[in-house]
Amino acid sequence: MTAAPHAAPVRASHRARGASGGLTGAMAAEWTKLWSVRSTWWSLLATAGLMLLAAPIIGSTMVNNRRGGPLVSATEVTISTVYIAQFGLIALAMLAITAEYTSGSIRTTLQAVPRRGTLLLAKTLVVGAVCLVAGTATGLLGIAAASLMLGDLTTVDSGEAVATALRIGVHLALISALTVGVAVAVRSAAGTLTIVFVGLTMVSLILSATDMAPLEYVADRLPDAAGTHFMNADGTPYGPMTALLFVVGWAVLVQAVGYLVLRKRDA
């Protein structure tokens, strides 16, 4: 993060002590810290910028691939673009943890909130809420950009657009929770970004490319594939609610690993 390393956590710790304490106070502190640094704003701007830049390009590619076929849906274009734009929100979630370890301000945070489970939950809820709203807004932005840039070459339904944007927001909130879990365990920005990138893209691609049914079965239940089924409200090979449960399960699993590491290792 780019602000002074200790100022935000100190202010946040005072806020936490003055609040009702417990989870509520911890969330108030995390909210203050998150919005008091420039990296949060840059991450949100990067997310919007990536969506605006990539959606027309991906949409044009999809249109060219379907010459003479059915029109491309603006929601389909946006969902395909999420896998680029999501890294802006992944950076936001990552820096909420790793910047404190880099600056050493995590010690102040743990003094203000010594219960590590409460601390992790507070960070996850605050970051998840921000990514839910930002992800939904980014989804609507992508749908609008694809519709405007592609014009008559695409289709869009307002009801479907809103529902898809909400699903995108939920998916990105869960991915941010997963990222927080990785960041707590790894404690470095480079390590977190590498693990999340490989886990969300490379592993699924490699397993799917093997043409082996058991590995393809696993690949289709990893967070990126399950997230795609959920955002598309796809019924094949499983329904959207099952897909949501897979993404939730991965987020909870990674959070549990992060919590165990946070408990056992000193700041």
Kindly report, residue by residue over 102-149, the tens digit of the pLDDT.
Answer: 999 999 999 989 999 999 999 999 999 999 999 999 999 999 999 988
- Rama region for 204: left / alpha / beta (φ>0; ψ in -120 to 50; rest): alpha
> 3-state class of 209 per DSSP?
coil
Structural domain harbouring 242: 7-264
pTM metric for this prediction: 0.88
Assigned domain for 53 exists: yes
Residue 192 has pLDDT above 80, yes or no: yes
Residues 215-236 have pLDDT tens digits of 999 999 999 999 999 999 988 8
- Asked if the structure places residue 64 within a domain, the reply is yes
- pLDDT for 10 beyond 80: no
User: In DSSP terms, which residues pair with 72 in a beta bridge?
Assistant: 154
* The one-letter amino acid at 255: Q
Contact 34, 47 (CB under 8 A): no
**Residue 4 confidence (pLDDT):** 47
Number of domains in the chain: 1
In this prediction, residue 267 has a pLDDT band, given cuts at 50, 70 and 90, of low
Would you tell me the crossing angle of helices 38-65 and 116-150 to the nearest 10 degrees?
40
Q: Tell me if 224 is assigned to some domain.
A: yes
Determine, yes or no, domain membership for 1.
no
pLDDT band at 74 (very low <50, low <70, confident <90, very high): very high
SS3 72: strand
Q: In whole numbers, what is the pLDDT of the chain averaged over residues? A: 89
Q: Looking at the predicted structure, is the pLDDT value of residue 9 above 80?
A: no
**How much is the pLDDT for 19?**
45
Q: What percent of the chain has pLDDT over 90?
A: 72
Identify the CA nearest to 196 among candidates 264, 251, 120: 251
Work out the pLDDT band at 208, boundaries 50, 70, 90: confident
